[in-house]
A and B are shown apart, each in its own frame.
Chain A
Amino acid sequence: MKWRVLGLETHDAYFNMALDEAISKRVIEGSSPPTIRFYNWSPNAVSIGYFQSIKDEVNLEVCKELGVDCIRRWTGGGAVYHDFDGEITYSVIAPASMFPKNIIESYGVICGWLVKGLESLGIEAEFRPVNDILVKGKKISGSAQTRRGGILLQHGTLLYGLDLKTMFSVLNVSRQKITNKMIKSAEERVTCVGMHCNRGKMEVYDSLVNAFTEGKDYEFGTCSIDELARAKELAEHKYRSNEWMFLR
């Protein structure tokens, strides 16, 4: 089956998540091909997992102060700070039959593409189930997956740079507690591409495209008018709504 690749685009949090859902619906119906997306988040944003409580995880006051958006994802997993300069996000949306039925194994397949991309940059990385990729024991990428209507959606981030201070201020840790010790402790657990090689973000993106498309029949494409219209509607009426935001 021929894959569609949607090249690196920048959208706000609501449209980004809405587009994943809109594409998923069309892949379920068979009217869109399996799709690989790459994207940035602007403004910067915090996304929380489907099962998380926004009040528990996010300092909404600081988000508002810093102009950081906040969104509940369609997928489980933990809270993530999406920094425009600090990461590249990907989504893979395809019939589940194209991947192993076992969820961990399917994480392994897609995370394997990221590992290959990192390897091509000279960075030795490994998949650590359930959903992480580590470099020298430190997390460089996290992913989340859902399966609905016979399709698989997996999205995840590759850390390119780290802004731990902002990350800690928007996630629910009080400002007084954002100590040097805490940042040091995070630095021991998290890493980013910029700490391992001196490549520009677009070069890293090119490596990911090559690794994600290797051995596949694919072409670069665009979203259909229908997908974009559906995404716009979902962004406004679902992902921006308080009902969705405060679901848990």
Chain B
Amino acid sequence: MIAYSSQKVKEGKIVKVEAQFDNVITKLKISGDFFLHPEEVLDDIEKSMLGLKRDVSFDTLVLKIHKIIKNYDAQMIGISPESLASVIREALK
């Protein structure tokens, strides 16, 4: 199954998620007009979601994103781990 979700998040930018899943996430594509430094971190965030169960909790998603952001000392502008997790969670409904 492929599902989409798109939101203008409270930090101000648009976040779009395309998720492919059965019981687990097999593909995830995040796009939008936000900023993330360094940019390549988004690939790692997408990869970290693969294999997670479709009903993965919001808190688990937030933790995973936070961990990657911390590892890279990355900065998100116009988006946050919480708002990104929320759009991913919405796509998995």
Chain A residues with CB under 8 Å of chain B are 49-53, 56, 74-79, 103-104, 130-131, 144-148, 248
Contact = CB atoms under 8 A, between A and B. Distances in A.
B33 interface: yes
A19 B34 CA distance: 23
Contacts of B14: 78
A144 B34 CA distance: 10
14 contacts: A49-B32, A51-B31, A52-B32, A56-B16, A56-B31, A76-B35, A76-B77, A79-B33, A103-B35, A104-B77, A144-B35, A145-B35, A145-B37, A148-B38
A248 B75 contact: no
A77 B38 contact: no
Contacts of B35: 75-77, 103, 130-131, 144-145
Interface of B: 12, 14, 16, 29-39, 42, 75, 77-78
Nearest to B38: A148
A103 B12 CA distance: 16
Contacts of B39: 50-51, 74, 76, 146
A146 B32 contact: no
Contacts of A130: 12, 35, 77-78
